[in-house]
Amino acid sequence: MNVALLIGLLLTAGLVAWSSERFHKSLPNWVALVSFLIATIWIVFVWLNGPSEGGTYADQSYEWIPRFGISLTLRVDGLSLMLIGLTTLLGAVAVVSSWTETQTRQGFFQFNILWVMAGVVGVFSAFDLFLFFFFWEVMLIPMYFLIAIWGHEDKAYASMKFFLFTQISGLLMLVAIVALVWVHYDIHGIITFDYDTLLETELDSSVARLLMLGFFIAFITKLPSVPVHTWLPDAHTQAPTAGSVILAGILLKTGAYGLIRFVITLFPEASQEFWVYGMGLGVISILYGGYMAYSQSDFKRLVAYSSIAHMGFVLVGVYSFNELGIQGAIVTMIAHGFSTAALFMMAGALQERLHTREMSKMGGLWVRAPRMGAVTMFFVIASVGMPGLGNFIGEFLVLLGAFQKNVLLTVLAALGIVVAAVYGLSLMQRSFQGTPNPDVPEMKDFAFREMSVMVVLMVGLVWVGIYPQHVLGMTDAILPLLGVVP
Amino acid sequence: MMNLLWLIPTFPLAGFLILCATEGKLPKVVTACIGAGSVGLSAIAATLVGWEFVTSDSTSYSQVLWTWMVVGDFNVSISLYLDYLALVMVGVITGVGFLIHLYATGYMWDEEGYSRFFAYMNLFVFAMLLLVLGDSLLLLFLGWEGVGLCSYLLIGFFHTDPANGYAARKAFVVTRVGDTALILGLFLLFREVGTLDIQQSLDGARDIWPDGSVMNTAIALLLLGGAIGKSAQVPLQTWLPDAMAGPTPVSALIHAATMVTAGVYLIARMQDLYLLSETATLCVAVVGLVTLFIASFTALVQSDIKRVLAFSTMSQIGYMFFALGVGAWSAAIFHLMTHAFFKALLFLASGSVILALHHEQDMHKMGGLWRKLPIPFWSMLIGSAALAALPFTSGFVSKDAILLTAAHSETLGMTFWSIAVAAAFMTSLYTVRMMYLTFFGETKTEPHDKSKANMWLPLLVLSVLSIGGGWLGFTVLGTLFGDKGVPFELHLKELVAIATMCVPLLGVLVGYLLFATNVFDRRKISDSAPGKAVGRFWFVGWGFDKIYDSLIVNPFRWLARVNKSDAVDYLYRFTTLVARIFHNLLTVSQNGRLRWYALTMFSGLLFVLIVVALI
Amino acid sequence: MMDATGGIPLEHVIWFAITLFLIGVVGILIRRNVIFILLSLELMMNAAAVVFIAAGAFHDQADGQVMFMFILALAAAEVAVALGLVVQLSRRFKTLDIDAASEMTG
């Protein structure tokens, strides 16, 4: 597979979509949808063909700035392929979800979506730290535009907050990258940003701890974890539907991916020592996120806080440092991508119909739109952690792994399951059940376009839920790298 | 034939999927056929498999469907396991389940969402079958959560009433607390024994802890926590009375016959773990005893007929827990089965009454119905007799088996026995009260009975089972766990046994005198100040709800209200505030006047020059 | 040394330039009329130019004159732009008062 070509495809499609606006208003949508579908089908084929002998699906390297040892190294292993597949699929979902929502400058809108996704694919496949940072920033700016231009009432504040949080934490990572390269230069006399070479760097434990923190903060800001989570509710609430879908479905996963790919592999000892903080933050995120979700009255904000809780499970899983925990974290990433994307789509669909996200203005919507009610019920149940659906597998494995590491923290994290039920069902009650709101005499139910996307996501969740082996099998190969499997 | 095992849960699943996919567009008759038919097919498959199983010599049969997940040493497959215990459960679920589905086709006919109802019901049966057939604890947990979900969906079936939604959420969340304990138990079990396969883990537990250990007790207690939540035992019992907000067939199927007994099944299934730990077994017994005691008093003062039955269910399941705790394993499962028969019968009969009275559930507004609603009356009479454990009913056989085993158990036998017998007395008392208020006395509301064969046929079958079920399978059940049931002949030999037999009769007599005659003036008792206070205390279920509300629910709500805008964000808002203050200070100097700028420039220049000159 | 500036001592030239510069400064600070501000600017610029010429002569090097040429060019360009602004100002605000154009406060 040629990842550079895939990234190129998305970038070009972005430009094409932008300029196609002048021919027909909905042409950019089609361009974006078709290119995401092509990309998805392509990835499915690559997946079916299986990895090459080295266990990778793609491995490319071109010189870029040889003077500083910077190269365009793109590699795709099981974990990356899965996340790239999720990216392109959710890209298509995002496009469909905002088909009728954006009425202004659709070309530029789709351009931004395609470029964010190109950046994300780059992040998931870059094996050169400089290139990684480059893509990290590439995905940030179009996302900023998506929120700042097409967002809702408080978009300026939200987009700026999003930008500042990500940018400042990204700068910490840049400092850590440069410092790491510098330490490596000090020892070996070679300047290089190459991931494999830097893996071998021998670091003092104190230096390693500092550098690890630089990466860690950048990634948990993106994840996000308490206490650096506050950008997320604002950004999600204000973003257009497609923006929320991408943000929750994909962008949060880059944080988790970074933790797995960089933090615990580049700094194994420092991370091992750090486990109690990592896991502790995860537990706090689970409980605090769940509790905050319950206190919200805004449909989208509630779902946004629930994302924080779910990502807390990822953090707990990663820092339990065993196979079960890390596999669970990965499954959680995938499942959360499906379930939360769907819930944000639902929020968008409700806003499009009712022009509000406030749940006090909803109530009894099931009577008006039974399909939407049933679909919401499904995804709420999924995110509550119903066995048989993907989220359960992830959370169960995470907790099972964490239990081997620390009982007390696991017990606290398990309380998150109860809290999830509390806020999930209260979401359902306040929006779709209860006395039908007389102010909403009628509401258009889901039609084919929306239903087809929802069915795809449902099938995905059931698939991960009853046969997670496909997901688990993909990531076997990286586990030895993480030092959790001999 | 036994390899058809997978078909048993598949039929209801298929029913659910069809009903979902058609979105309620099918004609009602077709919906009814699919809804009840799928469970019927499942019952037929269960009969075939069961017959094959009983006639074969094997004591267990397992069928691996596919690998669920493999992560390192953690290996779980989706596989079904059938033994006598599972077979009894499958029989109850599919058999009683089919009858209740059949009844529901009539009961729900005029309701909105006919197809949705049967979709949920079929999903429930599917999940419940997985629960009892699952070979690993994780698959059991899948069923466990699945039935919880369906219970939530069905309690809140009439979702336009917020009260129903509240009851549904309460049921889900309270049982989730238990489920969390259960899942922690699974984690601990996996850490200690290294597998979640039920049979392997029991074998492993016996090997690792031949004399029991703290770990074993901890696991057993955590599993008990799950069972307590699901089976509505003290202290997680508060959801069950509210769960009566669901349609009556739901109460019959989920909250009487099957789901609430899942806790009993779990403990029976993990029998070996409990046998290794005396503490855990004692806890099971005490939980059951406390529940059956509290619930039987509460049932005495309720005015809603379904709530009476709910508390009675709670107390009957208390008997089952009690039985498990005192070592009457077979009797517990036997009581589970007979209870499923007679309690389903009671619920369905009360459903017929409620339907005939246009959804009136208050017993004080019923009365004098016995001539007007003969079929519900006779069914309810039979069910009540079984509930009160009058001789020659199925309830008598199973309950006496429990009580006598308790009396013979070594530790605290007689203490346990006397409490349980006191509760049995109360059972008869509230049963008589329920029957009297509903069917005798003066008529307060005119009934309109419209029920057809699909509604009275299940009542008939269940009536037969409620009486005859006691003689049906006790011999089979006796071999279930190896412990011997208490034979009937024993009754005539021992004083304890005779007392056990007579207490319910005494209860009926006292009840008759209290409620149907004027020998005692019960108003005098209930209207006196202490009587009122006690009555109210019983009426609210001994105040558990209030305690939970003020200790957990309200503080949580308050916290949620005060912190809606996220306190953590103040940290960042403060940072921006500081930046903004500096910004405002500096903008003052930017007034846009050219001469002001020039002046500041030159004074700056002058300042620098002076400084330079001075140095 | 003295002869280099044609008999005028360098010191005098510098004092002259300072005076000229200060006149310009005061002009900018106290006049509101844009034209006068521009005139004052020219004065300040010429003060600098005079110092350059004097210094160039003083050191016997042509750099001073070269710099003068630059300043001349700069002044010309500046006037061209500034007069354009003046025209705009008078058109838009109907006045030549510089404080009228302070609405951007920055």
One-character DSSP codes across B336-395: HHHHHHHHHHHHHHHHHHHHHTTS--BGGG----TTTSHHHHHHHHHHHHHHTT-TTSHH
Top residue of A228, A427, A433 to mutate, by most chain B CBs within 10 Å, is A433
Q: How far is B119 from chain A (nearest CA, A)?
A: 12
Residue A188 sits in the same domain as residue A309? no
Question: Are the CB atoms for A391 and A336 separated by under 8 Å?
Answer: yes
Under-50 pLDDT residues of chain A:
none
Angle between helices B305-325 and B329-356 (to 10 degrees): 180
Query: Residues with Cβ < 8 Å from A215, sequence gap 6 or more?
Result: A173, A176, A258, A262, A263, A266, A267
Q: How far is B160 from chain C (nearest CA, A)?
A: 58
pLDDT band of B493, cuts 50, 70, 90 = low
Task: Compute the count of residue pairs across chains B and C with CB atoms less than 8 Å apart.
Answer: 33
Backbone angles phi, psi at B81, to 5 degrees: -135, 125
Cα B179 to the center of its chain, rounded Å: 12
> C29 vs B594: CB contact, 8 Å cut-off?
no
What is the radius of gyration, based on Cα positions, of chain C? 17
> Best residue in A380, A428, A446 to probe B by mutation, most B CBs within 10 Å?
A428
**Residue of A81, A79, A70 whose CA lies nearest to A1:** A81
Interface contact flag, C98 B587, Cβ < 8 Å: no
This complex has an ipTM of 0.92
Q: Distance, in angstroms, between B337 CA and closest chain A CA?
A: 27
Three-class SS of residue A64? Answer: strand
A472, two tokens: 């688990």
Chain B residues contacting C, CB < 8 Å? 587, 590-595, 598-599, 602
Residue of A366, A387, A485 with shortest CB distance to B159: A366
Alpha helices in chain C (DSSP H): 10-30, 34-59, 63-93
Nearest CA in chain B to C34: B594
Cα distance from B599 to chain C (closest Cα, Å)?
A: 6
Does the pLDDT of residue C4 top 60, yes or no? no
Task: Give Dmax (Cα) for chain A.
Answer: 74
Residue A420 structural domain: 274-486
Nearest residue of B to residue A227, measured between CA atoms: B568
What CATH number has the domain spanning C2-98? 1.10.287.3510
Write out chain B residues lying below 8 Å of C25, CB-based: 598, 602
Over residues C12-40, mean pLDDT: 91
| Residue A25 DSSP SS3 | coil
Tell me if A31 sits within 8 A of A95, measured CB to CB. no
The residues that bridge with A58 in the sheet, in sequence order, are: A76
A234 & A349 share domain:
no
Contact A173, A135 (CB under 8 A): no
Is chain C touching chain B, with at least 3 CB–CB pairs below 8 Å?
yes
Distance, CA of B517 to CA of B531 (rounded, Å): 20
Closest Cα in chain B, distance from residue C95 (Å): 15
CB of B136 closer than 8 Å to CB of B77: yes
Closest-CA residue in chain B for A417? B180
Residues whose CB falls within 8 Å of the CB of residue B236, separated by 6 or more in sequence, listed in order:
B174, B175, B177, B178, B228, B229
Chains that touch A (3 or more CB pairs under 8 A): B
CA distance B159 to chain A (A): 5
Q: Which burial class, exposed, middle or buried, applies to B344 when counting CB atoms under 10 A from its CB (0-12, 13-18, 19+)?
A: buried
Q: Choosing among C22, C25, C34, C41, which should be mutated to test the B contact, i.e. which has the most B CBs within 10 A?
A: C25
Q: Which residue has the tokens 């099972």?
A: A400
Q: For residue B214, with 0-12 CB atoms within 10 Å meaning exposed, 13-18 middle and 19 or more buried, which class applies?
A: exposed
Q: What is the pLDDT of residues B437-471, one digit of tens each?
A: 888 878 777 888 777 778 888 899 999 888 887 77
**CA dihedral over B457, B463, B466, B471, signed as positive or negative:** negative
Q: Cis omega before residue B235 (within 30°)? A: yes
Chain C positions in Cβ-Cβ contact with residue B592 (cut-off 8 Å): 101-106
More reliable by pLDDT, B525 or B171: B171
Contact A461/A339 with Cβ under 8 angstroms?
yes
Question: CA B565 to CA A297: how far, in whole Å?
Answer: 11
**Chain B partners (3+ C-beta pairs within 8 A):** A, C
Confidence of residue B330 (pLDDT cuts 50, 70, 90): confident
The closest CB to that of B590, out of C37, C98, C105, belongs to C105
Which pair of structure tokens corresponds to residue B369? Answer: 């119905």
- Residue A284 carries which side chain, given as an amino acid letter? I
For residues A16 and A103, membership in a common domain is answered with yes
Sign for the pseudo-dihedral over CA of A364, A369, A375, A379: negative
Task: Collapse the DSSP code of B75 into the 3-class scheme (helix H, G, I; strand E, B; otherwise coil) and give the result.
Answer: strand
pLDDT in the model for residue B489: 46
Is B367 a residue whose pLDDT tops 90? no
**Boundary-marking domain end, from A266, A289, A305:** A266
Distance CA A323, CA B378 (A): 61
Chains C and A touch (3+ CB pairs under 8 A): no
Contact check, Cβ <8 Å, A469/B67: yes
Q: Which two tokens stand for residue B364?
A: 């004080």
Asked if B592 and C32 come within 8 Å (Cβ–Cβ), the reply is no
* pLDDT on residue B171: 92
Calculate the alpha carbon distances from B278 to B184, B198, B207 in Å.
21, 21, 17
Specify the residue for token string 């079916």.
A48
**Chain B residue numbers touching C96 (CB-CB < 8 A):** none
Residue to test with chain C: of B589, B590, B591, B594, most C Cβ within 10 A: B594
Say whether A334 sits in a helix, a strand or coil: helix
Q: Tell me which residue has tokens 């998305």.
A: A10
Question: For C31, which residue in chain B has the nearest alpha carbon?
Answer: B595
Enumerate residues 6+ apart whose C-beta is below 8 A from A222.
A166, A169, A251, A252, A254, A255, A258
Cβ-Cβ contacts under 8 Å between A and B: the total is 134
A405 Cα to chain B: minimum distance (Å): 10
Do A472 and A346 fall into the same domain?
Answer: yes
Q: Which residues of B touch A418 (CB under 8 A)?
A: 173, 176-177, 180
Could C29 and B591 be called an inter-chain contact, meaning their C-beta atoms sit closer than 8 Å? no
Q: Does C86 touch chain B (CB under 8 A)?
A: no
Closest-CA residue of chain B to C37: B595
- pLDDT value of residue A178: 93
Verify whether the Cβ–Cβ distance B138 to A396 is below 8 Å: yes
C23 at interface of B, judged by CB pairs closer than 8 A: no
Nearest to A475 by CA among A47, A73, A72, A166: A47
Chain B residues closer than 8 Å to C37 by CB? 594
CA A385 – CA B145 distance, rounded (Å): 9
Residues A210 and A293 in one domain: no
Do A255 and A327 reside in the same domain of the chain?
no
Q: Cα separations (Å) of A323 from A404, B272, B611?
A: 11, 30, 68
Tell me B69's DSSP state: E
Q: What is the mean pLDDT of chain C?
A: 86
Question: Of the spans A47-61, A167-181, B319-333, B519-533, which averages the highest pLDDT?
Answer: A167-181
Tell me whether C32 touches chain B (CB under 8 Å).
Answer: yes
Please give the Cα distance from B250 to B245 (Å, whole number).
Answer: 9
> Which residues in chain C are closer than 8 Å to B602, comparing Cβ atoms?
25, 29
Chain B CA closest to residue A424? B169
Tokens linked to B296: 């039987």
Q: Which chain B residues touch A295 with a CB distance below 8 Å?
A: 559-561, 563-564
A154 plus A285 within the same structural domain: no
Question: Residue A158's CB: how many other CB atoms inside 10 A?
Answer: 23
Among candidate residues C26, C69, C21, the one with its CA nearest the CA of residue C43: C21
What is the distance in angstroms between the Cα of B585 and the nearest Cα belonging to chain C?
A: 14
Instruction: Give me the helices (H) in A299-431, please.
Output: 299-318, 323-354, 365-368, 370-384, 390-405, 407-431
Cross-chain Cβ contact A410/B187 below 8 Å: yes
Closest-CA residue to B334 (of B482, B497, B198, B476): B476
Confidence of residue B475 (pLDDT cuts 50, 70, 90): low
Contact (Cβ atoms closer than 8 angstroms) between residue B397 and residue B489: no
pLDDT greater than 90 at residue B480? no
* A125 and A211 belong to one structural domain: yes
> In chain A, how many domains are there?
2
Residues of C in contact with B591 (CB under 8 A): 102, 105
What spatial distance separates the first Cα and last Cα of chain A, rounded to whole Å? 29
C103: closest chain B residue by CA = B592
Q: Does the beta carbon of C39 lie under 8 angstroms from any beta carbon of chain B? A: no
**Three-class DSSP category at A331:** helix
**Boundary-marking domain end, from A243, A266, A289:** A266
What is the tens place of the pLDDT at every residue in B546-590? 888 888 888 888 888 888 888 888 888 999 999 999 988 888 887
The residue type at A301: R
Is the pLDDT at B362 greater than 90? The verdict is no
Report residue B577 as tokens: 């505030």
- How many CB atoms lie under 10 A from the CB of residue A11? 19
- Same domain for A163 and A15, yes or no, is yes
Of A244, A266, A288, which closes a domain?
A: A266
Q: What pLDDT, on a 0 to 100 scale, did the predictor assign at position B472?
A: 61
Residues 6+ apart with CB under 8 A from B21: none
Residue A410: other Cβ atoms inside 10 A: 25
Which helix (H) or strand (E) element contains residue B402? helix B394-408
Q: Show me where the domains of chain C are located.
A: 2-98
User: How high is the pLDDT of residue B517?
Assistant: 78
Closest CA to B446 of B516, B371, B377, B382: B371
Residue in this structure with the two tokens 């949808």, named with its chain if needed: A33
Chain B residues touching A286 at Cβ < 8 A: none
Q: Are residues A328 and A225 in the same domain?
A: no
Over residues A95-154, the pLDDT tens digits come to 998 888 877 888 899 999 999 999 999 999 999 999 999 999 999 999 999 999 998 888
CA distance A181 to A192: 6
Number of residues assigned to chain C: 106
Å between C98 CA and nearest CA of chain B:
7
Please answer yes or no on whether B595 and C98 come within 8 Å at the CB atom.
yes
DSSP per position, B46-95: HHHHHHHHHHSS-SEEEEEEEEEEEETTEEEEEEEEEEHHHHHHHHIIII
User: Which pLDDT band holds residue B473 (cuts at 50, 70, 90)?
Assistant: low
Q: Residue B224 corresponds to which tokens in the numbers above?
A: 């008990």
Q: Across residues B298-317, what is the average pLDDT? A: 90
C85–chain B Cβ distance below 8 A for any pair: no
Nearest 10 degrees: CA dihedral of B354, B357, B362, B367?
-110
Residue B348 has pLDDT above 80, yes or no: yes
Tokens representing C61 are 């090097």
